[in-house]
Structure 1
Amino acid sequence: MAAHISKAAVIGSGVMGASIAAHLANAGIPSLLLDIVPKSLTAEEEAKGLTLESPTVRNRLAAGALAKLPSIKPSPLYDDAFVSRITPGNIEDDLHRIKDVDWVIEVVVENLAVKQSLLEKIEAHWKPGTIVSSNTSGISINAMAEGRGDAFKSHFLGTHFFNPPRYMKLMEIIPGEQTDPAIVSQMSAFSERALGKGVVVAKDTPNFVGNRIGTYGLLATLQVMADKRLTVDEIDAITGPAMGRPKSATFRTLDLVGIDTFVHVANNVFEKVDNEAEKAVFEPSQLLKDLVARGWIGEKAGGGFYKKVKGEKGSEILSLDLGTMDYAKGKKPASASLEAAKAAKGAKEKTKAMLGGKDKYAEAAWEIVKLTLVYAAEKVGEIADTIVDIDKAMKWGFSWELGPFELWDAIGLVRSVERMEAEGTQVPAWVKDWIAAGNKSFYQKEAGSVAYAYDGKFRAVEQPREIISLRALKEQNKVIRGNSGASLIDVGDGVAALEFHSPNNAIGADILMMIQQSVEEVRKNYDSLIIANEGRHFCVGANIMLLLMEAQDEEWDEVDAIIRLFQDTMMKLKHFEKPVVAAPHRMTLGGGVEVCLPADEMALNAETYFGLVEVGVGLIPAGGGCKELTLRLSQANPNSEVDLQPHINELFLNIGTAKVSTSAHDARGLGYLRSNDRVIMNQDYLIYEAKQAALRLTQAGYEAPRAQKIRVVGSDGKAVLKMGALGMHQSGYISAHDLLIAKKLAHVLAGGDVPANTLVTEQYMLDLEREAFLSLCGEPKTQQRMQHMLAKGKALRN
């Protein structure tokens, strides 16, 4: 059961505290944001005649932090309006108000004495039953709680958000010795469902789980770099995607985190562990100390291991030469192992290719991996109960594609341990015992479930029933039918799920045919249909490679057939007599949006970036996107006396500028969502929530939507849209080809050359879309844009 949190208080309004308050606001939870009272006035406050007793002065720190939230990039808020859910205040005047909240989060400086002092003040106003937590990255929870009462201790724990809180999935929950286990369970469930987090329960040890392994791995990498005499660029080439890790790799990550912050985190372990060998590893190197002394601590100081400078051809990134301590243009490393890793597909194969080479980069990668894997194995039971917890912490907190034990399985557990021991590396006894018992991996799959090594035997990974895995269902032979682009899967209770699995989930003829077949299958044998997948992105749009090839060959009948197939398929979805629920996540662009719009409901992950972006490749939406959105505007404003023009103008601007939402909530603000479309915080629960929506619609006695006429603004409205586009062209904001596209779009959105308030059919609007799309496909500059997108992955302005 999740904790009931209806209101919270965040104490400490620094970057982390304000961002945590922002994420609570994202989740719909109002909060107090409190900080200390300033000890002096600013010049501006003096000029206004304010004093240290003025409320605006006393609340300055928290209020100032809130004022900055909308300008932070990437934004900590799903919608800038959510900042109104946060109330600023100060500790001296407002701490008593915590009696009205359900959760108090301490987010002050990482100093034990400061935290202890604040907790003493919090307890003085504490209401029994209120949960209190510390957002510490490594200070002992038990040490913080010293001197507090038993009742308070039972409700006190660590809740370590990783930065930035909105975007990083990991939440480490750290119980103290006296924390009520029920509170741990309730906060874990709350953090997962309400805040969208992936929770790892950590032991109260220095730096907990993620930072313990991550810091060790970075320090081990620095040691290998020194031993192998490698450069900053070489190490980052090795420790990025070539090993299933982020592009920021090692040194860009350090620059982002802040080298001074990293040194502080490393020192925390160095000062608190007793093992001399471990202590030696965590002592920050002289290089790191020198960089901190110079003030070269990363991006926040203008440079660290990398530095951005302006050159004759614009900005360029220089890297630090560790021999001369000068910045210079780096050389892109190249080797057989790096090329093999680049060519391989997926993190497992990339890492195997990287480690399987014979060059110096492969040797360095092996040393880094070997040290990290052995250390992670040594810490099982000490920092977390299971290998699963450690793997999750590294994937969710450091964006590794494979956790340490998953990586060990990928490269071959038995073979790699044999190599380690041959090189004189001491492998933890439990790992050797595990292999001696006949086991060849830490994880094993069986009938769609996963088990992991635990206490000498395999234990099943517990999966909440609210998490539906399409991958697991496919392994259980639940596929109803499928082709190269999509599959229809039985998810139980009369619900079938349509999953895209083409490259990038781009929509081609295979997916469209599968949608049509799915409609027929569900019509005969199921109660409802959901459209969902577990790809990195829901759908990046239509297969423009196919369209470009047909356009270049001037096969206009083929292009027309493709668009007709898309439109007809979407109309089948829209008017299907059984419920359809779409569950988009992350990138949902172009044709991906057009697949979602006909659905009866959408269950969107909060981090959904939703937009009709076809103008970026010189086209307009033609799969029903223009039609569906103008229909919604007409339905919302059926009275002909209501002026549709302002709404059409906004839609024209959104589509014409290829605007993409920054979140699902932003998509609502852009007019893409209806009142019944729901935002789901945790993507892991998205398919379950879509299924529940489908069941709910079925049980309510679903009736398919009837065909409706669309009220359009007509030729007069089109003239308004074209005038706006012409003004942008004359001002230099858009090119001549952009203007041509805008005129085509205006013609479609306005409903063509008919009088204002004319009622037209859906098919009429689809015909306008298709005609405009076909004409643009024949334009050389549109074909150039399509070619550029395929080659470079970004839009061309021509």
Structure 2
Amino acid sequence: MPKLQIRKVAVLGAGVMGAQIAAHLTNAGVPTILFDLPAKEGTPNAIVEKAIANLGKLSPAPLASKALAAEITPANYDQHLPLLAGCDLVIEAIAERMDWKRDLYAKIAPHIAPHAVVASNTSGLSINTMADALPDAVRTRFCGVHFFNPPRYMHLAELIPCRHTDRAVLEGLETFLTTTLGKGVIYARDTPNFIGNRIGVFSILATMHHTAQFGLGFDEVDALTGPLVGRPKSATYRTADVVGLDTMAHVIKTMADTLPDDPWHHYFKTPEWLSALIAKGALGQKAGAGIFRKVGKEIQVVDLAKQDYRPSGAEVAPEVAEILKLKNPVEKFARLRACGHRQAQFLWACFRDLFHYSAFHLADIADTARDVDLAIRWGYGWQQGPFETWQAAGWREVAGWIAEDIATGKAMSDAALPAWVSDGRAGVHGPDGSYSPSANAAKPRSTLAVYARQRFPDPVLGERFAPGETVFETDALRLWHDGDGIAVASFKTKMNTVSDGVLEGLQQAIDVAERDFDGLVIWQPREPFSAGADLAGALALLQAGKLAEFEAMVANFQATSQRIKYSLVPVVAAVRGLALGGGCEFQMHAARTVASLESYIGLVEAGVGLLPAGGGLKEIAQRAAAAAGTGGDVFAALKPYFETIAMGKVSGSAIEAKELRLLRDGDVVVFHPHELLYVAKAQARALAESGYRPPLPGRRIAVAGDVGIATFRMMLVNMLEGRFISEHDYEIASRIATVLCGGEVDRGTLVDEDWLLRLEREHFVALAQMPKTQERIAHMLKTGKPLRN
């Protein structure tokens, strides 16, 4: 089969999932048609049009830019089915009713293009049963694609073939999902709820069972099953509220109806208290109340004994908290099992039954243990999957404890552990791959070509990827390479903040790259790209009265930015996650930025009482002058930048960062975070091969001058008088305006970069010495939140 080319996609069903899948396709630049039933009132496309309009109101935002909503084409089944003939991929995302899905397939079948792939976004219905409703010719191009909610942010996409699916179709779709949509693809077998929800929902059911068994409160359980055990803050019961209690009940019923022979089937039922909440309309977050609710500023939780809500706030017992803080998982699990406190016994029971269930069903639901662990990590946000957790805790000993609890009737089921669990192994993950029951051997990762783009894939326990050859390494920065002529600089500071060591390391890295390499990429192994300057170090200098050293630090920051800009080899910034303050300024000076879609970029110094002084305001003044052109209105080009900086706006995506002009039109947006380094290195290579030279220095910059400053100050006075900003906000914004406009010079005056950099330094140092700025810095360091003073 030739390479799968997807130019246009149709999404069938404009409900919550369908509309958000369409939104993410549009984020990726894929032309998308969104279908639903014709409306009974108003325009025929009213249902879809309402769904598209609603995308801009949802949080977290499904669209990388609200403007993208206009790119989704609305359609209905009565009028527009012929449009399917122009689509290369059709994704069905209607309600989880097999009869409805089969009826829809019969309706669309005559209009599907001969080459088009058809996929169902079902969360657990049988793919083979759906395939039976399609013509023979379509079945080879049909499979399940289960996106997790919300589709933009959840990394997991489960790919489920039917018995007829062509392997080339699957691989083409896997490639599209990986690179174009940024997904982590896991192959699942056609079993109810597939992998993620099969294991994840069982874990929730087991937690509910043991909550009652050990007499714990819902808030107490959430305190135990969140970050303390490597899971999201929403833990168990808050997650149920977010998902929707009615949805949770539906998934549980699906397991009960479709898994009658499961040894744990007795537990596949909605608890009475959950049914009672649903009957009252307390469906969770979407209804304003569920297991938890907010009354004023108080969070309340259901108390089953009182049959009412009470204030939430249960805590983890000190002796249990002490165990959970242990770094060694072997010691941690041994002490959990031995501890007599009911919280510890609860946690051991939850882990034990999760391990038991996962091992018993591995052969049925997945090809390898890696598939299960990655599905749970990517779909549920756990730091480790069940098999990784078990292996880290000591496989053999934990297996013995599980077997002992099964024998004594403590486990939820008396089903025997599979024989492979106790065959002498130390775990299921290792250097050779992950255990596959069907092969009875370890299987390595996929060799599909798309994965060659991932230099450092998301590893499971026991996996190691060659770190590259170190050129030099300090406490703050490592420079390394893979022998391909492109050097990579990675920071080592907390949150990858910019310290003196990072500044010195970057300057040294550029010196080395100019001498020995064709290009340099600034890339971090983990998010964020950089949370900005080292505020703690800066505040220490100020409080110690070392003003000269503080000024020298600022000057060195600017010198490093300029060194990035004027490097003789291209410097490419590979941005992922936060790129704030100095992190944003570094990427602004790079020859090119390659940004992951989920990049949150901003010049946020105003929030700590400062202004950007790493060359960021200088770069903006230059960009505004270039945009205005000779004799143009520089002030008009500056105005949107000024609002962005003075308000400390941070982009909600890399696409929005382009709209804020913090990224350039030529900068590249990458959807898969693990392909970021590959693309950044390719960009550096392309620039080098094209005979790269840095910008010519000494270019003159037309500035808005005193007229621009006065106009900005008029705007600020109105905001001050309306109490929208404080007096210190006015001071900060006024100084930002002064630098952006080139100082108190005539409008249209031509200045150079050094002039603007000097203005940055002067106003930055002046603000830094003000008590209210130092209060803001101290408050940010202490609380992580801005202070309004």
C-alpha displacement of 1:355: 7.0
Which residue of the partner structure matches residue 412 of structure 1? 394
Deviations 1:281-301 (A, max 9, x none): 222222222222222221112
Which residue of the partner structure matches residue 288 of structure 1? 274
Inter-partner Cα distance in structure 2 for 1:474 and 1:264: 41
Tell me if structure 2 keeps the 8 A contact 1:474–1:489. Answer: no
What is the letter of the counterpart of residue 532 of structure 2? G
Counterparts of residues 76-115 of structure 1 (less than 5 Å) = 76-115=62-101
Inter-partner Cα distance in structure 2 for 1:578 and 1:349: 50
Q: Are residues 271 and 684 of structure 1, via their aligned partners in 2, closer, same or farther at CA, if it must alter by over 3 Å? A: same
Which residue of the partner structure matches residue 518 of structure 1? 509
Which residue of the partner structure matches residue 38 of structure 1? 39
Work out whether 1:467 is the aligned partner of 2:454.
Answer: yes
C-alpha displacement of 1:332: 3.1
Tell me if structure 2 keeps the 8 A contact 1:615–1:655. Answer: yes
Inter-partner Cα distance in structure 2 for 1:791 and 1:356: 38
Which residue of the partner structure matches residue 64 of structure 1? 50
Which residue of the partner structure matches residue 598 of structure 1? 589
Inter-partner Cα distance in structure 2 for 1:475 and 1:713: 52
* 1:506 alignment partner, one of 473, 479, 497: 497
C-alpha displacement of 1:360: 2.5
Tell me if structure 1 keeps the 8 A contact 2:399–2:421. Answer: no
Tell me if structure 1 keeps the 8 A contact 2:249–2:270. Answer: yes
* 2:159 alignment partner, one of 173, 195, 213: 173
Deviations 1:648-671 (A, max 9, x none): 121111100000011101000001
Tell me if structure 1 keeps the 8 A contact 2:13–2:94. Answer: yes
* 1:327 alignment partner, one of 309, 314, 339: 309
Q: Are residues 599 and 476 of structure 1, via their aligned partners in 2, closer, same or farther at CA, if it must alter by over 3 Å? A: closer
SS at match of 2:364: coil
Work out whether 1:216 is the aligned partner of 2:202.
Answer: yes
Single out whichever of 354-363 and 423-432 deviates more from structure 2. 423-432
Tell me if structure 2 keeps the 8 A contact 1:233–1:331. Answer: yes
Work out whether 1:730 is the aligned partner of 2:717.
Answer: no
Which residue of the partner structure matches residue 647 of structure 2? 657
Which residue of the partner structure matches residue 289 of structure 2? 303
C-alpha displacement of 1:344: 5.9
Inter-partner Cα distance in structure 2 for 1:529 and 1:473: 24
Which residue of the partner structure matches residue 692 of structure 2? 702
Q: Are residues 690 and 544 of structure 1, via their aligned partners in 2, closer, same or farther at CA, if it must alter by over 3 Å? A: same
Which residue of the partner structure matches residue 561 of structure 2? 570
Deviations 1:309-364 (A, max 9, x none): 12xxxx22111112122111023313235533675679999989877865332221
Q: Are residues 163 and 529 of structure 1, via their aligned partners in 2, closer, same or farther at CA, if it must alter by over 3 Å? A: same
Which residue of the partner structure matches residue 671 of structure 1? 661
Give the alignment's TM-score, normalised by structure 2.
0.94
What is the letter of the counterpart of residue 30 of structure 2? I
Deviations 1:253-301 (A, max 9, x none): 0000011101111111111113253211222222222222222221112
Q: Are residues 303 and 660 of structure 1, via their aligned partners in 2, closer, same or farther at CA, if it must alter by over 3 Å? A: same
Which residue of the partner structure matches residue 608 of structure 1? 599
* 1:377 alignment partner, one of 334, 337, 359: 359
Counterparts of residues 617-766 of structure 1 (less than 5 Å) = 617-639=608-630, 641-707=631-697, 708-766=699-757
What is the letter of the counterpart of residue 20 of structure 2? S
What is the letter of the counterpart of residue 704 of structure 1? P
Inter-partner Cα distance in structure 2 for 1:692 and 1:349: 45
What is the letter of the counterpart of residue 405 of structure 2? E
SS at match of 2:264: helix
SS at match of 1:733: coil
Inter-partner Cα distance in structure 1 for 2:583 and 2:287: 41
Work out whether 1:589 is the aligned partner of 2:580.
Answer: yes
Which residue of the partner structure matches residue 185 of structure 2? 199
Q: Are residues 288 and 25 of structure 1, via their aligned partners in 2, closer, same or farther at CA, if it must alter by over 3 Å? A: same
Inter-partner Cα distance in structure 1 for 2:553 and 2:3: 48
Deviations 1:712-755 (A, max 9, x none): 11111111111111211111110011111111111111111111
Q: What is the total number of aligned residue pairs between the two structures? A: 773
Q: Are residues 769 and 349 of structure 1, via their aligned partners in 2, closer, same or farther at CA, if it must alter by over 3 Å? A: farther
SS at match of 1:173: strand
Inter-partner Cα distance in structure 2 for 1:258 and 1:692: 44
Inter-partner Cα distance in structure 2 for 1:30 and 1:400: 33
Which residue of the partner structure matches residue 531 of structure 1? 522
Work out whether 1:119 is the aligned partner of 2:105.
Answer: yes
Inter-partner Cα distance in structure 2 for 1:166 and 1:461: 25
Tell me if structure 1 keeps the 8 A contact 2:226–2:234. Answer: yes
Inter-partner Cα distance in structure 2 for 1:453 and 1:62: 45
Inter-partner Cα distance in structure 1 for 2:148 and 2:140: 24
Deviations 1:157-194 (A, max 9, x none): 11111111111111111111111111111111100111
Work out whether 1:233 is the aligned partner of 2:219.
Answer: yes
Which residue of the partner structure matches residue 52 of structure 1? none
Which residue of the partner structure matches residue 762 of structure 2? 771
C-alpha displacement of 1:530: 0.2
Which residue of the partner structure matches residue 23 of structure 2? 22
Inter-partner Cα distance in structure 2 for 1:565 and 1:350: 46
C-alpha displacement of 1:625: 0.8
Inter-partner Cα distance in structure 2 for 1:111 and 1:128: 26
Work out whether 1:368 is the aligned partner of 2:350.
Answer: yes
Q: Are residues 224 and 473 of structure 1, via their aligned partners in 2, closer, same or farther at CA, if it must alter by over 3 Å? A: closer
SS at match of 2:191: coil
Inter-partner Cα distance in structure 2 for 1:243 and 1:356: 17
C-alpha displacement of 1:489: 1.5
Deviations 1:54-106 (A, max 9, x none): xx1x2111111112221222211111121122111210111121011111111
Inter-partner Cα distance in structure 1 for 2:131 and 2:309: 46
Inter-partner Cα distance in structure 1 for 2:428 and 2:505: 37
> Where do 5+ consecutive residues of structure 1 fail to align?
46-55
Which residue of the partner structure matches residue 458 of structure 1? 442
Q: Are residues 354 and 720 of structure 1, via their aligned partners in 2, closer, same or farther at CA, if it must alter by over 3 Å? A: farther
Inter-partner Cα distance in structure 1 for 2:707 and 2:683: 41
C-alpha displacement of 1:410: 2.0
C-alpha displacement of 1:491: 3.0
Tell me if structure 1 keeps the 8 A contact 2:329–2:392. Answer: no
Inter-partner Cα distance in structure 1 for 2:528 and 2:339: 32
Deviations 1:123-152 (A, max 9, x none): 122221111111111111111122422111
Tell me if structure 2 keeps the 8 A contact 1:538–1:588. Answer: yes
Deviations 1:378-431 (A, max 9, x none): 221211111111111111111111111111122221222222223335898776
SS at match of 2:312: coil
Which residue of the partner structure matches residue 266 of structure 1? 252
Inter-partner Cα distance in structure 1 for 2:753 and 2:284: 55
Inter-partner Cα distance in structure 2 for 1:348 and 1:612: 44
SS at match of 1:690: helix
Give the alignment's TM-score, normalised by structure 1.
0.93
Inter-partner Cα distance in structure 1 for 2:331 and 2:710: 56
SS at match of 1:530: strand
What is the letter of the counterpart of residue 735 of structure 1? S
What is the letter of the counterpart of residue 380 of structure 2? F
Inter-partner Cα distance in structure 2 for 1:5 and 1:116: 24
Tell me if structure 1 keeps the 8 A contact 2:627–2:637. Answer: no
Which residue of the partner structure matches residue 533 of structure 2? 542
Work out whether 1:137 is the aligned partner of 2:123.
Answer: yes
Which residue of the partner structure matches residue 49 of structure 1? none
